[in-house]
Amino acid sequence: MCFIKTLYKKILIKRYDDDHIIHYFSYKDFDGLYAESRNFKTEEGYLIKGYYYYYPSYKEDQLIILCHGIGGGHRSYMREIELLCKKGYRVLSYDNVGCFESEGKSIRAASESTNDLLCVLNTLKKEGSLNGIKVSLIGHSWGGHAVSNILSYYNEIDSIVCISGYASMELFLNSMFKGKHKFIRHSIMKYEKKMNEKLYNSYSYNAVKDTKTRVLFIHSKDDSVVRLDASAFSYKDKINNPNVNYLLCEGKSHNPNYTYDAVKYMKESFGEYNKLIKAKKLKTFEAKKAYMDKLDWYRMTEQDEDIWNIILSNIKE
């Protein structure tokens, strides 16, 4: 069991930094986009580094908070952030503990995304920054888990969009470790409970079943990172709440808000990259960076306008 915990921490519960190989956009890549620094402090004492992003004449009575997935930081979502800002919204996004600009030797636990979102919301509320403001949440994957579960702990939210998120850690582990490997689940859940007993077993079904907040779940059938049976679609038939809606895509993998071409291009590009790494043809930092620099990152992160129209409708409604 100790071996499983050690392996879990080595593979997943670690620190995630910008390796300067993969290209991440910044606000400077978009003419006229403003970035205003904003810091938060968790109860555990970690500094969370974030930013308000906006174009001039944004909607002052609305705020969108965007929560990032595991493996990167909030700049992994600059195309999404810029799209929302272009639509007239002010967006707050931040790096979770253990990621990019924020403090922490690791992300601590899978529940950290929820912990950090709760910290941000409670801080903003306490200081009065949310007075007269409609707050909408958008989260992807790890961040999707956070936004879809937050209503169990903080319910003053106008709308929520969960993209490719897992409904609970237990469902996620059940999806990943079946049969003879199911003993792994117990060890991981035991670790998660130790790290955050309050949040470790959050289940979005409990958070949204009776909610008056507008909630939209978006997933792709072929998602191999967060499989469909680990998502909110696993309990869709058990919920009879008109405020909770679902959008199921196909062929979008783990990024249903991307265009089909972007998803295909990403798979091909990283597939080739991983082949070259395995063949030991990209050994140095310079060689890896040279490969990545040749890629069209605008094409790889192109957003699906039809999907975003549905997302924006959930926010505006």
Q: How confident is the model at residue 317 (pLDDT cuts 50, 70, 90)?
A: low
Domain 2-258+305-316 homologous superfamily, CATH = Alpha/Beta hydrolase fold, catalytic domain (3.40.50.1820)
* One-letter identity of residue 131: N
Rounded Cα distance between 206 and 209, Å, is 6
Q: How far apart are the first and last CA of the chain?
A: 48
Candidates 231, 229, 142; CA nearest to 178 is 229
The one-letter code for the residue type at 3 is F
**Single-letter code of the amino acid located at 188:** I
- Paired with 227 in beta bridges are none
Collapsing DSSP to helix, strand or coil, 210 comes out as coil
**Predicted confidence (pLDDT) per residue in 214-263, tens digit:** 999 999 999 999 999 999 999 999 999 999 999 999 999 999 999 999 99
- Judged against a pLDDT cut of 70, whether residue 37 lies above it is answered with yes
pLDDT tens digits, residue range 165-184? 999 999 999 999 887 777 88
For the chain, domain boundaries: 2-258+305-316, 259-300
* pLDDT grade for 1, boundaries at 50, 70 and 90: low
Alpha-carbon torsion angle 150, 151, 154, 159, nearest 10: 90
Report how far residue 190's alpha carbon sits from residue 200's, in angstroms, rounded to the nearest whole number: 9
Tell me if the pTM is above 0.85.
yes
For residue 192, name the pLDDT band (cuts at 50, 70, 90).
Answer: very high
* Structure confidence by residue, pLDDT tens digits, 108-119: 999 999 999 999
- Separation between Cα atoms, residue 258 and residue 242, nearest integer Å: 27
